[in-house]
Structure 1
Amino acid sequence: MSPIQDFYSQQTIFLTGASGFLGKLIIEKILRTCPDIQKFYILLRPKHDRALEQRFNDIFSNSCFEPLKAENKDFAKKIHILSGDCSQPMLGMSPEAQAIVKREVTCVIHAAANVRFDVDLKTAVFTNVRSVRDLMDMMKEMENLRAFVYVSTAFSHCHRDKIDEVFYDVDVKPEKLLQIMEVMDDRTLEVVTPHLLGEWPNTYVYTKAVAEELIRSYKQVLPVAIVRPAVVISTCDDPLPGWINNFQGVVGVVVGVCLGVLRTLHLNKNLPARVVPADYVVNNILAAAWNVEQTKNKE
């Protein structure tokens, strides 16, 4: 076993964003390469037209799980569903579900987010910032927590000319921003949103930057790491070459060109494409959790 596989042995993992593109690949990678994990809790949002069990089955109907199914037909036995919604206080989790997480979980991966660029600021703040605060408050009561990995974006501070692996300041304190969202009506908020965003071009990258600032305030008391992937595209090799389940962003553009629907594009050929294969990102996320403990042990 590699050091990273050894790290995940007998761990109990809690993952948000399990139904998303990266979430599916994180589940697949851990279950296929780290079979000695203890349990795997995934947070799923109830939908009026689909029960949680149906949503669970939908996840594993994707072709990316075929290699895992071929190796281990009983892989799902270690997976447990927790009902929740990251747009709600305390991630929409019941007191019983919170108690399970506090008592059993040793590793947390927060990959859930509202990734729309045009969503209103209140929705983006509640989903992308409040969920982080509430989850970290929950983690302070996890006696066995070994690592927390937050999946951010390389563009959280996109207005800067250069991005290093450091924390950057934002113009507002996260708690102050949350208070504003709680008390301000939607019409007033729509008017002041451009002033709050400042140099940030949309609510997505802005709330990601604020969430990073929130994590900085906890880094002295919790074992945390932030992963900032660029634009995530289809897998390179693992578990299947070229696997993707959406046509968002640059993937949709490429498909449009290949089909002949898009004949012209307005591009600057001198600028590099900030894209990264999804399996590279998943490997980075899993390695980051391992590195958190390694770094902590050296201090």
Structure 2
Amino acid sequence: MIGEMDADMVVGYFGGKSILITGSTGFLGKVLVEKILRVQPDVKKLFLLVRAPDVESAKLRIQTEVTGREIFLVLKEKHGMGFYDFIDEKICPLAGDIMHENFGLDTANLRELSKDIDIMVNIAATTNFSERYDVAFDANVLGAKHVCAFARKCMKLKMLLHVSTAYVAGEQEGLIPEKPFLIGETLKEGTHLDIESELNLIRETRRELKANCSSEKAERRTMKELGLKRARQFGWPNTYVFTKAMGEMLLGHLRGELPVVILRPSIITSILKEPLPGWMEGIRTIDAVVIGYAKQTLPFFLVDLSLIMDVIPGDMVVNAMMVAMAAHSEERAQTIYHVTSSLRNPAPYAILADTGHRYFYDNPPRTGRNGEPARLNKMRFFSTVARLSLYMAVRYRLPLEMLRLVNIALCGVFSRRYDDLSRKYRFIVQLIELYTPYSLFKGWYVRVKME
């Protein structure tokens, strides 16, 4: 079906449609909202669900965090003085949250929406790899459940599109097919996942923390550790991809006859073409490593430069979303799409390392007090955990331990220095642990359907 569609057919599909979008204040959400309004001004209405105490606050958030951003400059130029009237006509703010049943909307609002909505797009999620388990579960698992329940109440719904991540595949190697997760399925042989039991575990842990009068810091640490522990027990590398996989399971299990598309993009990067080439907002997945190198706070990293870096521009993801919605409208089935580049346009990590070094060499960041350019050293790369561990032990852990002993002997003279170096060391260790499943990833995502 996708192969039979052209751009005019896709754009035409959205004419006269009412679309509910969650996660519009995020990077991908902004790109989608702008794209629809720019290419299809005859869209009937975009209902944007945002966290806010009331509609006026929701409207203000949309004005400042969505339509007020640089990505809407092209649309502003197109409409001129009529831009704000156009936005007011097409965008309807909704104050709510996917973490609540019915998004926390009142009965009257719910009844009207259920009559109007043609398409639902769920982008809302927490993407923090090491998020608290309770927070990630609420957003990525219960959020998906509530979106599905709401969609089933919409009388004329033609499509529910859910944005997941290609990395729900965990650390699998070789060709990874576009197949759905069955309820209870895991990535570790001999284990079975009970989502209800995970929710009960979270609630019980919360009760214990409250009973023990735990500090906020201790509670945060405990819930983060619980998420990582549960993810790894079932074969996923971190809390983010684990909870996104559970969200997919619930959607597939509860959708009934709903037409559902689950989109699994890989690492989303800046815009390639439209409307502003190179536009990016916030620190994306691989940006932390690039920034760490630019500031010279990350002198080394764990990555096999010969492996494929699977990245995909944000505007290409949005294009895929729109095509998939149009292609599968009113199909009473679930369809999975990988939106990835590893097979179609493979690029090794060596390209990022080389171009990154050349860029910052020609455009050195000014990090000194007087704005002097930073002196850049080439980042050192380790292709195996064993080599990196040996290097870190000799280069960092041993000197740190010696400094600790000297500090004790001198009654804490070097306490400040020791604490500062320990903090930096822990940051690097944590960063490497979080990124290892991606920097050493040996899978290739099959995208038969998208072709």
TM-score by structure 1 length? Answer: 0.89
Q: Which moved more, 1:157-166 or 1:204-213?
A: 157-166
Residue 64 of structure 2 is aligned to residue 64 of structure 1: no
- Name the residue aligned to 1:196: 230
Contact 2:228 2:239 in 1 (8 A): no
Q: Aligned in 2, Cα 1:120/1:257: closer, same or farther, shift over 3 Å? A: closer
Q: Secondary structure at the match of 2:302?
A: coil
Structure 2 letter corresponding to 1:75 = F
Q: Which residue of 1 aligns with 2:104?
A: 92
Once structures 1 and 2 are overlaid, which stretch shifts more, 71-80 or 143-152? 71-80
1:204-243 matches, cutoff 5 A: 204-243=240-279
Work out the percentage of aligned pairs sharing the same amino acid: 27
Q: Which has the higher helix share?
A: 2
C-alpha deviations, 1:173-209, integer Å up to 9, x for none?
4445445444553558858655532211211101100
Matching of residue 265 in structure 1 with residue 271 in structure 2: no
- Aligned-residue offset at 1:129: 1.0
Does residue 75 of the first structure (1) align with residue 86 of the second (2)?
yes
Question: CA 1:182–1:265 in 2, change beyond 3 Å: closer, same or farther?
Answer: closer
Task: For 1:71, give the aligned amino acid.
Answer: K
| RMSD (Å), alpha carbons | 2.5
Task: Name 1:41's counterpart in structure 2.
Answer: 47
Find out whether 1:275 has 2:287 as its counterpart. no
Q: Does 1:138 align with 2:150?
A: yes
Q: Say if 1:8 and 1:176 are closer, same or farther in 2 by CA, change over 3 A.
A: farther
Task: After superposition, give the CA deviation of every residue in 1:113-168 in whole Å (9 maximum; x if it has no partner).
Answer: 01112222121111111111112112112111000100000101213224211113
Aligned to 1:52: 58
User: What's the CA shift string for 1:197-250, capped at 9, x where partnerless?
Assistant: 221121110110011111111344100000000111111111110001112321
SS at match of 2:166: coil
Mapped pair 1:185 → 2:206: yes
Compare CA radii of gyration and give the structure with the larger one: 2
Unpaired runs of 5+ residues, structure 2, are: 1-6, 187-191, 210-221, 334-451
Separation in 2, partners of 1:194, 1:2: 45
Structure 2: distance between partners of 1:186 and 1:231? 36
Question: What is the match of residue 254 of structure 1?
Answer: 290
Q: 1:104 to 1:270 in 2, by over 3 A?
A: same
Give the deviation of 1:264 after TM superposition: 3.9
Q: Is the 8 A contact 2:269 2:284 kept in 1?
A: no
Gaps of 5+ in 1: none
Aligned to 1:25: 31
Please tell me whether residue 166 in structure 1 is matched to residue 167 in structure 2: no
| 1:153 and 2:187 correspond | no
C-alpha distance in structure 1 between counterparts of 2:324 and 2:113, whole Å = 21
1:160 partner letter: Q
Which residue in the other structure is 2:15 paired with? 9
